[in-house]
Amino acid sequence: MKNPKLFAFASPSGGGKTSIIKPLLQKYSDFEFSVSATTRGMRPGEVNGKDYFFLTKEEFEGLIASGGFVEHEFFFDTHYGTLKREVDRALAAGHSMIFDVDVKGALSIRRMYPNESVLIFIAPPSLEILEQRLRNRKTEDDAKIRKRLQRAAMEMETGKQFDVTVVNDVLEKAITDVDTIITEHITS
């Protein structure tokens, strides 16, 4: 690849970043998807190293102490993080990488890799539409939805520090917009 980049995507829960990332990973088959490390238990059907790198709390904390993470977060009683060795391996191989991270994680990627990172914030058209999307999932109770909406306000404010914001109002247009951004960065 001519110019490998680290494309860090963040959005509030329900913002649609996964729906945007999936078709782009199919199009850019030479891109790698950053697999996060976690301390949560493995769910049926998950594969270590493909879905997550499943670590014990002690292993995770050891990597924190040794600087083994690009970013890490303690979220809903579980550690999550991006392994520095995986990012370095991808860049050394000349591969671009796509990250699905929270806003703080994206900013950490920029701090560690300022010349390679491109931060893309996926914004909902409004908080009302975001709430509607979260409710339509039918995966969380009202208390969790309220927590996610409170966090969304902080995420949208922090997203102003990103390189670009794409509003996910019409999914196909958002995918096209992000595709254009990626193409500009890997060919420049």
Residue 79 lies in a domain: yes
Q: What is the pLDDT of residue 130?
A: 86
Q: What is the pLDDT of residue 144?
A: 86
Q: How far is residue 38 from each of residues 54, 61, 69, 137, measured CA to CA in Å?
A: 5, 11, 12, 24
Mean pLDDT computed over 107-128 = 95
Structural domains of the chain, count: 1
Rounded CA-CA distance 5/93 in Å is 12
Span 137-171, pLDDT tens digits: 878 888 888 888 888 989 999 999 999 999 999 99
Domain range holding 77? 6-187
* Cβ atoms of 71 and 101 closer than 8 Å: yes
Report field, pTM of the whole predicted structure over 0.85: yes
Radius of gyration of the chain (CA): 16
Rounded CA-CA distance 135/128 in Å is 11
Residue 1 lies in a domain: no
Residue 52 lies in a domain: yes
Side-chain-side CA neighbours of residue 60 (13 Å): 20
Residue 181, domain CATH: 3.40.50.300
